[in-house]
Amino acid sequence: KLMAQNEVELYLVFSRIRSMEAADLRQRNQALATRCLNFASGVLDLCEQFPAGAVPRAIALQVSRSAGSIGANLEEAFGSYSRPEFAYCTNIAKREAREARYWLRLVSLRRWNLDERLAPLLTESDELVRILTVIVKKVQAPKPPSEL
């Protein structure tokens, strides 16, 4: 009977730990989703400062689409049904972050006097690429036998 009671206590401890881990994961997911949303909003604000013309308009469309797709694909990943689906959607978000970074770098070469607004967005795009790369690598790594 003592063994059964210890097993129940151990189960309750593990349940609490899992619950705390799930809450922590939800908080981290929400923080990342908020960063992506703020990044996309900052890119849209930047695009509104582009000079008039066909080239700035084309670049604005590209950078705004890729920046907005980061968070959209991440939200889809958070709603995924399986680990491979999560990895797939997160990998798309990572690729969109890389694309947004490319377009922002191109904007910096155009010399449109937007450096003050552009610098933090370039930094954030680098950080988002790094964060998403780590997530994809962790998710795609084989699970240890204890987690199967």
pLDDT band of 139, cuts 50, 70, 90: confident
Q: Quick one: which of 78, 61, 121, 118 has its CA closest to 97? A: 121
**What tens digit of pLDDT does each residue of 71-128 get?**
999 999 999 898 899 999 999 999 999 999 999 999 999 988 888 899 999 999 999 9
pTM of the model: 0.82
CA 114 – CA 35 distance, rounded (Å): 21
**What tens digit of pLDDT does each residue of 61-87 get?**
999 999 999 999 999 999 989 889 999
Determine how many CB atoms are found less than 10 A away from the CB of residue 39. 22
